[in-house]
Structure 1
Protein backbone atom coordinates (compact mmCIF):
# COMPACT_ATOMS: atom_id res chain seq x y z
CA UNK A 1 0.00 0.00 0.00
CA UNK A 2 1.30 3.47 -0.88
CA UNK A 3 2.40 5.76 1.93
CA UNK A 4 0.54 9.09 2.29
CA UNK A 5 2.00 11.82 0.12
CA UNK A 6 3.95 14.34 2.16
CA UNK A 7 2.69 17.83 1.28
CA UNK A 8 5.08 20.14 -0.47
CA UNK A 9 5.55 23.34 1.52
CA UNK A 10 3.58 26.33 0.29
CA UNK A 11 5.35 28.90 -1.86
CA UNK A 12 7.47 31.41 0.05
CA UNK A 13 5.80 34.39 -1.64
CA UNK A 14 3.51 35.50 -4.45
CA UNK A 15 6.12 37.55 -6.33
CA UNK A 16 6.38 35.23 -9.30
CA UNK A 17 9.16 33.05 -7.93
CA UNK A 18 9.30 29.68 -9.68
CA UNK A 19 8.03 26.93 -7.43
CA UNK A 20 7.79 24.00 -9.87
CA UNK A 21 8.99 23.11 -13.35
CA UNK A 22 8.11 20.24 -15.64
CA UNK A 23 10.76 18.00 -17.22
CA UNK A 24 9.48 15.95 -20.17
CA UNK A 25 7.51 14.79 -22.13
CA UNK A 26 10.06 12.07 -22.53
CA UNK A 27 10.05 10.11 -25.76
CA UNK A 28 9.25 6.71 -24.33
CA UNK A 29 6.48 4.21 -24.89
CA UNK A 30 4.54 6.11 -22.27
CA UNK A 31 4.18 9.87 -22.13
CA UNK A 32 6.08 10.85 -18.97
CA UNK A 33 6.76 14.13 -17.22
CA UNK A 34 8.57 14.90 -13.96
CA UNK A 35 7.49 17.74 -11.69
CA UNK A 36 10.56 19.24 -10.05
CA UNK A 37 10.90 21.91 -7.38
CA UNK A 38 12.83 25.17 -7.83
CA UNK A 39 16.07 23.44 -6.74
CA UNK A 40 15.66 20.71 -9.37
CA UNK A 41 14.55 17.94 -6.99
CA UNK A 42 11.98 15.52 -8.45
CA UNK A 43 8.64 15.71 -6.63
CA UNK A 44 6.42 13.41 -8.73
CA UNK A 45 6.44 11.57 -12.04
CA UNK A 46 3.34 11.80 -14.21
CA UNK A 47 2.91 8.92 -16.64
CA UNK A 48 0.20 8.36 -19.20
CA UNK A 49 -1.06 4.82 -19.27
CA UNK A 50 -1.09 3.69 -22.88
CA UNK A 51 -4.03 1.89 -24.47
CA UNK A 52 -6.46 3.39 -21.99
CA UNK A 53 -9.98 4.28 -23.12
CA UNK A 54 -10.33 7.12 -20.62
CA UNK A 55 -6.90 8.83 -20.91
CA UNK A 56 -5.61 7.41 -17.63
CA UNK A 57 -2.58 9.01 -16.01
CA UNK A 58 -0.69 7.75 -12.99
CA UNK A 59 1.32 9.91 -10.59
CA UNK A 60 4.21 8.43 -8.62
CA UNK A 61 6.50 9.63 -5.83
CA UNK A 62 9.78 11.19 -7.05
CA UNK A 63 11.08 9.76 -10.32
CA UNK A 64 9.68 6.31 -9.62
CA UNK A 65 7.12 4.47 -11.74
CA UNK A 66 6.92 1.50 -9.38
CA UNK A 67 3.43 0.40 -8.28
CA UNK A 68 4.29 0.82 -4.58
CA UNK A 69 5.14 4.51 -5.24
CA UNK A 70 1.77 5.29 -6.86
CA UNK A 71 0.16 8.33 -5.22
CA UNK A 72 -2.94 8.78 -7.37
CA UNK A 73 -4.39 8.20 -10.82
CA UNK A 74 -6.52 10.41 -13.05
CA UNK A 75 -8.93 9.51 -15.82
CA UNK A 76 -11.62 11.18 -17.86
CA UNK A 77 -15.08 10.61 -16.45
CA UNK A 78 -16.23 9.60 -19.96
CA UNK A 79 -14.62 9.13 -23.35
CA UNK A 80 -16.48 11.95 -25.13
CA UNK A 81 -16.55 15.34 -23.43
CA UNK A 82 -17.20 18.92 -24.46
CA UNK A 83 -15.62 20.23 -21.27
CA UNK A 84 -13.03 18.31 -19.35
CA UNK A 85 -14.18 16.32 -16.37
CA UNK A 86 -11.46 14.26 -14.75
CA UNK A 87 -11.80 11.85 -11.86
CA UNK A 88 -8.92 11.52 -9.40
CA UNK A 89 -8.41 8.37 -7.35
CA UNK A 90 -5.90 8.16 -4.51
CA UNK A 91 -3.72 5.03 -4.58
CA UNK A 92 -5.61 3.31 -1.76
CA UNK A 93 -8.95 3.77 -3.59
CA UNK A 94 -8.53 0.60 -5.66
CA UNK A 95 -12.25 0.02 -6.33
CA UNK A 96 -12.64 3.48 -7.90
CA UNK A 97 -16.39 3.47 -7.19
CA UNK A 98 -16.28 7.12 -6.13
CA UNK A 99 -13.57 9.60 -7.04
CA UNK A 100 -11.53 11.31 -4.31
CA UNK A 101 -11.27 14.56 -6.30
CA UNK A 102 -12.62 15.81 -9.61
CA UNK A 103 -11.44 18.42 -12.08
CA UNK A 104 -13.93 20.32 -14.22
CA UNK A 105 -13.08 22.94 -16.76
CA UNK A 106 -11.91 23.87 -20.19
CA UNK A 107 -8.30 24.12 -21.28
CA UNK A 108 -9.44 26.22 -24.26
CA UNK A 109 -10.85 28.74 -21.78
CA UNK A 110 -7.74 28.22 -19.60
CA UNK A 111 -9.80 27.60 -16.50
CA UNK A 112 -10.66 24.73 -14.21
CA UNK A 113 -12.04 24.03 -10.77
CA UNK A 114 -10.95 21.16 -8.56
CA UNK A 115 -13.43 19.69 -6.08
CA UNK A 116 -13.21 17.22 -3.20
CA UNK A 117 -14.88 14.01 -4.44
CA UNK A 118 -18.41 14.38 -5.75
CA UNK A 119 -19.07 17.33 -3.42
CA UNK A 120 -19.23 21.03 -4.21
CA UNK A 121 -16.26 21.70 -1.89
CA UNK A 122 -13.62 23.65 -3.79
CA UNK A 123 -9.96 22.74 -3.25
CA UNK A 124 -8.38 24.80 -6.06
CA UNK A 125 -9.16 26.99 -9.07
CA UNK A 126 -7.15 28.04 -12.10
CA UNK A 127 -7.85 30.80 -14.60
CA UNK A 128 -5.96 32.85 -17.16
CA UNK A 129 -4.12 35.89 -15.89
CA UNK A 130 -4.03 38.47 -18.67
CA UNK A 131 -0.80 40.43 -18.72
CA UNK A 132 0.95 42.58 -21.32
CA UNK A 133 3.34 39.67 -21.93
CA UNK A 134 0.52 37.15 -22.43
CA UNK A 135 -1.28 39.43 -24.88
CA UNK A 136 1.74 40.62 -26.89
CA UNK A 137 3.76 37.42 -27.20
CA UNK A 138 1.09 34.82 -26.55
CA UNK A 139 2.69 33.40 -23.41
CA UNK A 140 0.05 32.00 -21.08
CA UNK A 141 0.03 33.06 -17.46
CA UNK A 142 -2.29 31.53 -14.92
CA UNK A 143 -3.56 32.35 -11.50
CA UNK A 144 -3.97 29.25 -9.36
CA UNK A 145 -5.78 29.52 -6.05
CA UNK A 146 -5.09 26.60 -3.73
CA UNK A 147 -7.29 26.34 -0.67
CA UNK A 148 -5.87 25.58 2.82
CA UNK A 149 -4.55 22.09 3.58
CA UNK A 150 -4.27 21.16 -0.11
CA UNK A 151 -0.92 20.13 -1.57
CA UNK A 152 0.49 22.51 -4.21
CA UNK A 153 2.31 19.77 -6.14
CA UNK A 154 -0.93 17.76 -6.31
CA UNK A 155 -2.81 20.69 -7.88
CA UNK A 156 0.00 21.49 -10.34
CA UNK A 157 0.11 17.82 -11.36
CA UNK A 158 -3.63 17.86 -12.11
CA UNK A 159 -3.27 21.01 -14.23
CA UNK A 160 -0.37 19.46 -16.18
CA UNK A 161 -2.47 16.35 -16.86
CA UNK A 162 -5.44 18.48 -17.97
CA UNK A 163 -3.15 20.33 -20.38
CA UNK A 164 -1.68 17.09 -21.75
CA UNK A 165 -5.13 15.57 -22.36
CA UNK A 166 -6.19 18.76 -24.14
CA UNK A 167 -3.17 18.61 -26.48
CA UNK A 168 -4.03 14.98 -27.33
CA UNK A 169 -7.49 16.16 -28.35
CA UNK A 170 -5.99 18.91 -30.55
CA UNK A 171 -3.58 16.59 -32.33
Structure 2
Protein backbone atom coordinates (compact mmCIF):
# COMPACT_ATOMS: atom_id res chain seq x y z
CA UNK A 1 0.00 0.00 0.00
CA UNK A 2 1.42 3.33 -1.02
CA UNK A 3 2.47 5.63 1.75
CA UNK A 4 0.64 8.98 1.85
CA UNK A 5 2.68 11.94 0.68
CA UNK A 6 3.51 14.15 3.66
CA UNK A 7 1.94 17.59 3.49
CA UNK A 8 4.30 20.38 4.60
CA UNK A 9 3.17 22.64 7.40
CA UNK A 10 1.80 25.95 6.12
CA UNK A 11 4.04 28.97 6.40
CA UNK A 12 3.02 31.50 9.08
CA UNK A 13 0.46 33.90 7.69
CA UNK A 14 -0.55 37.35 8.76
CA UNK A 15 -2.21 37.65 12.13
CA UNK A 16 -5.63 39.29 12.29
CA UNK A 17 -5.85 40.98 15.67
CA UNK A 18 -9.35 41.13 17.07
CA UNK A 19 -8.85 44.58 18.58
CA UNK A 20 -6.80 47.58 17.45
CA UNK A 21 -3.29 47.72 18.87
CA UNK A 22 -2.41 51.43 18.90
CA UNK A 23 1.25 51.94 19.77
CA UNK A 24 1.48 55.46 18.36
CA UNK A 25 -2.20 56.23 17.76
CA UNK A 26 -5.61 54.65 17.09
CA UNK A 27 -5.88 56.63 13.82
CA UNK A 28 -3.12 54.40 12.41
CA UNK A 29 -5.06 51.16 13.05
CA UNK A 30 -7.52 49.94 10.43
CA UNK A 31 -9.73 46.81 10.32
CA UNK A 32 -8.21 45.86 6.95
CA UNK A 33 -4.64 45.33 5.67
CA UNK A 34 -2.72 48.46 4.70
CA UNK A 35 -0.26 48.44 1.79
CA UNK A 36 2.32 51.22 1.80
CA UNK A 37 5.17 52.16 -0.53
CA UNK A 38 8.38 53.45 1.01
CA UNK A 39 11.04 55.36 -0.91
CA UNK A 40 14.41 55.98 0.71
CA UNK A 41 16.37 58.80 -0.87
CA UNK A 42 19.90 57.41 -0.90
CA UNK A 43 21.71 60.28 -2.60
CA UNK A 44 20.96 63.16 -0.25
CA UNK A 45 23.06 65.22 2.15
CA UNK A 46 20.89 64.22 5.09
CA UNK A 47 20.92 60.44 5.17
CA UNK A 48 17.87 58.53 6.34
CA UNK A 49 15.16 60.52 4.55
CA UNK A 50 12.08 58.55 3.52
CA UNK A 51 8.71 59.20 1.90
CA UNK A 52 5.81 56.83 2.59
CA UNK A 53 2.75 56.72 0.33
CA UNK A 54 -0.42 54.66 0.05
CA UNK A 55 -1.29 52.55 -3.01
CA UNK A 56 -2.67 55.66 -4.76
CA UNK A 57 0.59 57.56 -4.39
CA UNK A 58 -0.73 59.88 -1.66
CA UNK A 59 1.97 60.87 0.85
CA UNK A 60 1.17 59.48 4.31
CA UNK A 61 4.45 60.00 6.18
CA UNK A 62 7.86 61.57 5.77
CA UNK A 63 11.00 60.73 7.71
CA UNK A 64 13.82 63.21 8.13
CA UNK A 65 17.21 62.88 9.79
CA UNK A 66 18.65 65.64 11.94
CA UNK A 67 22.01 67.06 10.92
CA UNK A 68 24.60 68.29 13.41
CA UNK A 69 23.09 66.34 16.30
CA UNK A 70 24.94 64.52 19.08
CA UNK A 71 22.37 61.74 18.77
CA UNK A 72 21.53 59.78 15.67
CA UNK A 73 17.98 60.98 15.33
CA UNK A 74 15.04 60.62 12.97
CA UNK A 75 11.63 62.28 13.04
CA UNK A 76 8.50 60.66 11.64
CA UNK A 77 6.22 63.35 10.21
CA UNK A 78 2.73 63.32 8.78
CA UNK A 79 2.04 64.58 5.24
CA UNK A 80 1.85 68.18 6.50
CA UNK A 81 5.24 67.68 8.22
CA UNK A 82 3.86 67.71 11.76
CA UNK A 83 6.07 65.55 14.02
CA UNK A 84 4.48 62.26 15.09
CA UNK A 85 7.38 60.56 16.88
CA UNK A 86 11.10 61.12 17.37
CA UNK A 87 13.52 58.18 17.09
CA UNK A 88 16.71 58.65 19.09
CA UNK A 89 19.67 56.27 19.27
CA UNK A 90 21.39 55.78 22.62
CA UNK A 91 25.03 56.79 22.40
CA UNK A 92 27.59 54.02 23.02
CA UNK A 93 24.99 51.25 23.16
CA UNK A 94 26.30 47.72 22.58
CA UNK A 95 22.96 46.56 21.23
CA UNK A 96 22.15 49.66 19.15
CA UNK A 97 19.27 50.69 21.39
CA UNK A 98 16.77 53.24 20.10
CA UNK A 99 14.17 55.20 22.07
CA UNK A 100 10.96 56.40 20.42
CA UNK A 101 9.11 59.37 21.93
CA UNK A 102 5.82 61.03 21.11
CA UNK A 103 6.17 64.19 19.01
CA UNK A 104 9.55 65.85 19.47
CA UNK A 105 9.72 65.08 23.18
CA UNK A 106 12.66 63.58 25.07
CA UNK A 107 10.76 63.22 28.34
CA UNK A 108 10.47 59.76 29.98
CA UNK A 109 6.68 60.04 30.27
CA UNK A 110 6.46 60.46 26.47
CA UNK A 111 8.45 57.29 25.75
CA UNK A 112 6.39 54.90 23.59
CA UNK A 113 8.79 52.00 23.01
CA UNK A 114 12.44 51.00 22.69
CA UNK A 115 14.19 48.84 20.10
CA UNK A 116 17.46 46.95 20.37
CA UNK A 117 19.34 44.18 18.59
CA UNK A 118 18.70 40.80 20.20
CA UNK A 119 22.47 40.11 20.24
CA UNK A 120 25.65 42.04 19.53
CA UNK A 121 26.83 39.86 16.63
CA UNK A 122 24.34 39.17 13.85
CA UNK A 123 24.47 38.12 10.21
CA UNK A 124 20.90 39.26 9.70
CA UNK A 125 19.17 41.84 11.81
CA UNK A 126 17.04 40.59 14.67
CA UNK A 127 15.47 43.35 16.71
CA UNK A 128 13.50 43.16 19.93
CA UNK A 129 10.84 45.79 20.64
CA UNK A 130 9.71 46.66 24.16
CA UNK A 131 6.75 48.91 24.90
CA UNK A 132 7.31 51.61 27.50
CA UNK A 133 5.39 49.77 30.21
CA UNK A 134 7.48 46.60 29.70
CA UNK A 135 10.23 47.75 32.05
CA UNK A 136 11.54 44.28 32.93
CA UNK A 137 12.10 43.40 29.24
CA UNK A 138 11.99 39.67 29.97
CA UNK A 139 9.93 38.99 26.83
CA UNK A 140 9.77 41.32 23.84
CA UNK A 141 6.43 42.79 22.72
CA UNK A 142 7.43 42.58 19.04
CA UNK A 143 10.41 41.33 17.09
CA UNK A 144 11.78 42.22 13.66
CA UNK A 145 13.81 39.84 11.53
CA UNK A 146 15.23 40.60 8.12
CA UNK A 147 17.98 41.62 5.74
CA UNK A 148 18.24 45.21 4.59
CA UNK A 149 20.35 44.29 1.55
CA UNK A 150 17.49 42.05 0.38
CA UNK A 151 14.93 44.67 1.43
CA UNK A 152 13.01 41.98 3.23
CA UNK A 153 11.81 41.82 6.81
CA UNK A 154 9.00 40.43 8.92
CA UNK A 155 7.51 41.88 12.12
CA UNK A 156 6.17 39.39 14.65
CA UNK A 157 3.85 39.87 17.61
CA UNK A 158 5.89 39.16 20.74
CA UNK A 159 8.21 36.17 20.77
CA UNK A 160 5.85 34.19 18.52
CA UNK A 161 5.47 33.15 14.85
CA UNK A 162 2.46 35.46 14.42
CA UNK A 163 3.22 37.97 11.66
CA UNK A 164 1.82 41.51 11.88
CA UNK A 165 3.69 43.14 8.96
CA UNK A 166 6.01 42.35 6.05
CA UNK A 167 8.42 44.43 3.96
CA UNK A 168 9.67 43.38 0.54
CA UNK A 169 11.77 44.92 -2.22
CA UNK A 170 10.21 46.72 -5.16
CA UNK A 171 12.58 47.56 -8.02
CA UNK A 172 11.54 50.18 -10.57
CA UNK A 173 13.35 51.96 -13.39
CA UNK A 174 12.96 55.21 -11.47
CA UNK A 175 14.61 53.75 -8.36
CA UNK A 176 17.65 52.67 -10.38
CA UNK A 177 17.99 55.95 -12.29
CA UNK A 178 17.41 58.39 -9.47
CA UNK A 179 19.25 56.75 -6.57
CA UNK A 180 16.22 55.69 -4.57
CA UNK A 181 15.39 52.52 -2.68
CA UNK A 182 11.78 51.46 -3.19
CA UNK A 183 10.02 48.82 -1.17
CA UNK A 184 6.52 47.81 -0.15
CA UNK A 185 5.10 47.18 3.29
CA UNK A 186 1.97 45.21 4.12
CA UNK A 187 0.56 45.89 7.59
CA UNK A 188 -2.07 43.45 8.82
CA UNK A 189 -5.47 44.50 10.24
CA UNK A 190 -5.61 46.46 13.51
CA UNK A 191 -1.83 46.91 13.60
CA UNK A 192 -0.48 50.46 14.01
CA UNK A 193 1.11 51.22 10.63
CA UNK A 194 2.93 54.34 11.88
CA UNK A 195 4.61 52.07 14.44
CA UNK A 196 5.65 49.62 11.69
CA UNK A 197 7.19 52.42 9.61
CA UNK A 198 9.17 53.58 12.67
CA UNK A 199 10.54 50.05 13.09
CA UNK A 200 11.63 49.93 9.43
CA UNK A 201 13.49 53.25 9.79
CA UNK A 202 15.36 51.88 12.81
CA UNK A 203 16.12 48.62 10.96
CA UNK A 204 17.62 50.68 8.14
CA UNK A 205 19.92 52.59 10.49
CA UNK A 206 21.03 49.54 12.49
CA UNK A 207 21.85 47.58 9.33
CA UNK A 208 23.77 50.51 7.91
CA UNK A 209 25.90 50.87 11.04
CA UNK A 210 26.50 47.21 11.79
CA UNK A 211 26.71 45.80 8.27
CA UNK A 212 24.19 43.14 9.31
CA UNK A 213 23.03 42.28 5.81
What TM-score does the superposition give when structure 1 sets the normalisation length?
0.92
RMSD across aligned positions (CA): 1.8
Report whether the alignment pairs 1:88 with 2:129. Answer: yes
Give the direction of change, closer, same or farther, for the CA distance of 1:28–1:120 in structure 2 (3 Å limit): same
2:96 corresponds, among 51, 55, 61, to: 55
Structure 1 counterpart of 2:147: 106
Report 1:14-29 matches (<5 A).
Answer: 14-29=55-70
1:167 aligns with: 208
* Structure 2: gaps (5+ residues): 1-22, 35-52
Kept after mapping to 2: 8 A contact 1:34/1:45: yes
SS of residue paired to 2:153: strand
**Structure 1 stretches of at least 4 aligned residues deviating more than 6 Å after TM superposition:** none
Q: Look up the match of 1:6.
A: 25
Higher relative contact order (CA 8 A, sep 6+): 2
Unaligned stretches of 5+ in structure 1? none
Range with bigger deviation, 98-107 or 160-169: 160-169
1:115 alignment partner in structure 2: 156
Q: Deviations over 1:118-169 (max 9, x none)?
A: 1111110001112121233342111100001111110000000000111212
User: Among residues 27, 31, 38, which one is paired with 2:79 in the alignment?
Assistant: 38
CA distance in 1, matches of 2:151, 2:122: 16
CA distance in 1, matches of 2:67, 2:100: 15
Count of aligned pairs: 168
